[in-house]
């Protein structure tokens, strides 16, 4: 079975680890990764969501953080600080720097982000095909208003430096409107037997992937059933601050609001946590098949169970 998953960072990567455990040897997973979180620092291109998927599935992730490398040291960052070169608020460790150096060196040599990602995955062997959503530069910015007035800041500054403490007035995936799907993305979607939306951030992760012209249309038109898993449990995001960016796009932070925002033209099925059993009727009324199952990714086995539930629902809604 050919499975395609649109994935962001921490939540998406953890789900993929369970999905990988749930499938058989004849199944294959293609991940379309969000690159809107990418940030250029110290002359290097950092791809947080691609790296989180690669490290998590490759066994190199810092498990508690959900990002960056395990057994990290911070000598380069400390030396940069001595030179007065920031930003201090973004934690790039020495081991992680190697990834960004290799990536930036290959990009400078003319390789595409897809080719770079494929090369980095040769080391990490994630067990999935990891495709960036686009080889073109897309960077999510957030419009805020604070004592310095109204301005757009990079998503990472909003997320990491400000901890989403101020309201996001707008989420702008800069460059998305002229970006092209990366090679293989549209084919993977068209040829998929199942398409999954893991419990990633529906606005800045999955929403950004869908903002690349052609991708939303391809998913909506795909013969494969599309099943999503709610990143919201009991009215709050499990991790991260999805509620902050959901507010920016006028979507309530509830399991049913996210499903209905994706819409029945895009998704065929939706899993909510058992805590949101009451949401099932509203989602089904919106034309989306819905089941309530445990959605807390407490360990790989629990996550594998969620993945099996998603694949089972996909079979039930297969057109």
Site string for ligand FO1, 7-26 (x = CB under 6 A): -xxx----------------
Q: How far is the CB of 128 from ligand FO1 (least distance, A)?
A: 17
Using left for φ > 0, alpha for ψ between -120 and 50, and beta otherwise, residue 175 falls in: left
Closer to ligand FO1 by Cβ: residue 209 or 314? 209
Q: Cβ of residue 140: shortest distance to ligand FO1, in angstroms?
A: 9
Distance in Å, CB of 156 to ligand FO1, minimum = 5
Q: Of 233, 222, 223, 225, whose CA–CA distance to 256 is shortest?
A: 233
Q: Candidates 3, 92, 279, 295: give the one binding ligand FO1 (CB under 6 A).
A: 92
Binding mask 146-175 for ligand FO1 (x = CB under 6 A): ----------x--xx---------------
CB of 295 to ligand FO1, least distance (A): 18
Q: Are 244 and 168 in contact (CB under 8 A)?
A: yes
Instruction: Return the number of the residue (31 or 279) whose C-beta is nearest ligand FO1.
Output: 31
Cis peptide before 118 (omega within 30 of 0): no
Nearer to ligand FO1, 47 or 227 (CB): 47
Question: What is the Cβ-side half-sphere exposure of residue 230, based on CA atoms within 13 angstroms?
Answer: 36
Look at residues 181, 68, 56 and name the one whose alpha carbon lies nearest to residue 131.
Answer: 181
Q: How far apart are the C-alpha atoms of 204 and 186, rounded to whole Å?
A: 20
Q: Of the two residues 96 and 139, which places its CB atom closer to ligand FO1 in the complex?
A: 96
Taking the C-alpha atoms of residue 101 and residue 6, their distance in angstroms, rounded to an integer, is 26
Q: Is 167 annotated as a binding residue?
A: no
Q: Which stretch binds ligand FO1 (CB under 6 A): 4-12, 76-84, 168-176, 296-304?
A: 4-12
- Indicate the burial class of 151 (C-beta count within 10 angstroms; 0-12, 13-18, 19 or more): exposed
Tokens 């049913």 correspond to 256
Closest distance to ligand FO1 from the beta carbon of 29 (Å): 19
Could you say whether residue 42 binds ligand FO1 (CB under 6 A)? no
309 CA to centre of own chain: 20
By CB under 6 A, residue 68 contacts ligand FO1: yes
Q: What is the smallest separation between the CB atom of 155 and ligand FO1, expressed in angstroms?
A: 7
207: contact with ligand FO1 by CB under 6 A: no
The DSSP code sequence of 293-307 is ------SHHHHHHHH
* Residue list for the binding site: 51
């Amino acid at each position: 079975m050919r499975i395609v998953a649109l994935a962001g960072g921490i939540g998406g990567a953890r789900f993929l680890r369970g999905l990988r455990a749930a499938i058989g040897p004849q199944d294959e997973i293609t991940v379309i990764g969000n690159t809107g979180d990418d940030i250029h620092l110290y002359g290097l291109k950092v791809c947080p969501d691609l790296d989180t998927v690669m490290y998590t599935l490759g066994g190199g992730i810092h498990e508690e953080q959900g990002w960056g490398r395990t057994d990290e040291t911070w000598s380069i960052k400390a030396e940069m600080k001595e030179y007065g070169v920031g930003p201090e608020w973004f934690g790039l460790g020495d081991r992680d720097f190697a990834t960004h150096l290799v990536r930036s060196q290959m990009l400078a040599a003319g390789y595409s982000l897809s080719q770079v990602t494929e090369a980095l995955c040769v080391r990490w062997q994630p067990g999935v095909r990891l495709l960036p959503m686009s080889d073109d530069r897309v960077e999510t910015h957030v419009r805020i208003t604070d004592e310095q007035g109204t301005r757009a800041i990079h998503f990472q500054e909003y997320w990491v430096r400000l901890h989403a403490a101020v309201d996001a007035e707008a989420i702008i995936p800069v460059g998305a409107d002229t970006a092209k799907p990366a090679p293989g993305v549209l084919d993977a979607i068209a040829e998929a037997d199942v398409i999954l939306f893991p419990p990633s951030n529906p606005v800045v992760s999955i929403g950004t992937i869908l903002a690349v012209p052609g991708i939303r249309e391809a998913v909506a038109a795909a013969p494969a059933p599309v099943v999503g898993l709610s990143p919201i449990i009991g009215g709050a995001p499990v991790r991260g601050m999805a509620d902050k960016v959901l507010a920016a796009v006028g979507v309530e932070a509830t399991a049913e609001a996210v499903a209905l925002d994706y819409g029945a033209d895009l998704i065929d099925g939706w899993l909510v946590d058992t805590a949101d059993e009451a949401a099932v009727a509203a989602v089904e009324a919106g034309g989306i098949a819905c089941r309530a199952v445990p959605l807390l990714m407490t360990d790989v086995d629990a996550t594998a169970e969620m993945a099996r539930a998603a694949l089972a629902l996909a079979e039930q809604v297969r057109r």
